Structure 1
Amino acid sequence: MGIREQGNGRRYKKDTEGLTAFFREIAALHTIEQVTFLCIGTDRSTGDALGPLTGSRLLDYGFPYVVGTLPNPCDADNLLAQVAAIPPGQIIIAVDACLGTLLTRGSYLTAAGPLQPAQSVGLKLPAIGHYSIAAIVDVNGPKPYHTLQTTPLHRVMVMAEQISGAAATGFGLEAYGRFKGSSLA
């Protein structure tokens, strides 16, 4: 789980249309072969499953370089090794779940810069990504681990589809993904 919602001026709150524009901006600067999606999270927590769900859908859409999927999650235990395995020179788009306020739940914080994985739950991991998306899956409270465990799976699945669909549209892959078999099945 990534950063808490922060008003540092570098992150921008987006809806689904805003995500598509964010990906179009990245696609205008980098080819699909230059981009690696780093989808952080675990399939052992509904709220934190956003990363692996997103990664699996990105593969369905035809993105060639995706780290962090349902069969092979990128979590706190293996994050550093997974990042070290990404070839030098790749542009990393980091995707992670986070907690925010009731008014921001279901929206996305984007940045042309890294995110800080696991900050909300008190872990110290390095900031990661040339670009980043923190998906606000639920409301921050006194027990973030419990909140993540009880976050509705449907909300997380919808948000993962919105991120991957926006990426596919932004990079021009949306039609391809509709014909490929789903790795979520």
Structure 2
Amino acid sequence: MPLDNKIYFSINTDKINASYMLSCKLTDLLLQHDIYNKNLVIFCIGTDRSTGDCLGPLVGYKLSKLSLSKNITILGTLNNPVHAKNLDENIIYIKESIQNPFVLAIDASLGKSENIGNINLLLGPVYPGAGVNKKLQPIGDISITGIVNTSGFMEYIVLQNTRLSVVMKMAEVITTSIYTSLKQIYNYKVAID
């Protein structure tokens, strides 16, 4: 993760109220960005071929099974992942097909061992592939990253050997947080209209 991204909020998945706290902060951030007048794109980055890199597709898969507002687009699921080879075409799709998009990007990341299990809500984009030294196009008005394992040495092997339980727990917290946040935002809008 680049140094210019500001962490707006960070919480470990082991905290009892992690989903609730993350949803509160996400709601605040979406409302600050006037989400009612934009089309939300939930951009879930990663691949189902690597345990450590499947966080985004798992979140996309779980969210796609839920009932969400019609102006929300989910890109990146287990069946149709967004990864290094199709990232640019998905970004072009957003620019050409979605009016006034607001992108919430979700991706796995690597970090210090003491931070494994942390979910970070960031002001700004994610930099896909940064953990494995790939230079890909940044994406996201705001971002959620989950630290799935340690960085610094043989990152591809580290991602392949990441515990699925860590990734699944993060995916559940992130999915629940996003769903709770969006339900609150859009139910509130219906109530005041």
> TM (normalized to structure 1)?
0.84
Of 71, 75, 82 in structure 1, the residue corresponding to residue 79 of structure 2 is 71
Q: Which 4+ residue blocks in structure 1 deviate beyond 6 angstroms?
A: none
Q: CA RMSD in A?
A: 1.9
2:141 equivalent among 103, 120, 130: 130
Between the aligned partners of 1:12 and 1:105, the Cα distance in structure 2 is 18
Number of equivalences: 169
Aligned to 2:189: none
Q: Which residue of 8, 24, 35 corresponds with 1:21?
A: 24
Higher strand share: 2
State the match for 1:35 in structure 2: 40
Counterpart in the other structure of 1:103: 114
After TM superposition, the structure 1 stretch with the greater mean CA deviation from structure 2, 162-171 or 13-22, is: 13-22
Larger Rg: 2
CA contact (8 A) 2:126 2:138 kept: yes
Return 57-66 or 132-141, whichever deviates more. 57-66
Aligned residue runs from structure 1 range 74-93, under 5 A: 74-86=82-94, 87-93=98-104
For the 8 Å contact 1:53–1:69, the answer to whether it is kept is yes
Report the alpha carbon displacement of residue 121 of structure 1 after superposing the two structures with TM. 0.7
Query: 2:153 matched to 1:150?
Result: no
Task: Report the Cα distance in structure 2 between the residues aligned to 1:9 and 1:130, rounded to whole angstroms.
Answer: 11
Tell me if structure 2 keeps the 8 A contact 1:33–1:65.
no
Which runs of 5 or more structure 1 residues have no equivalent in the other structure? 174-185
The residue matched to 2:109 in structure 1 has which SS?
Answer: strand
Q: Give how far 1:47 is off.
A: 0.4
* SS state at 1:74 partner: coil
Alignment identity in percent?
34
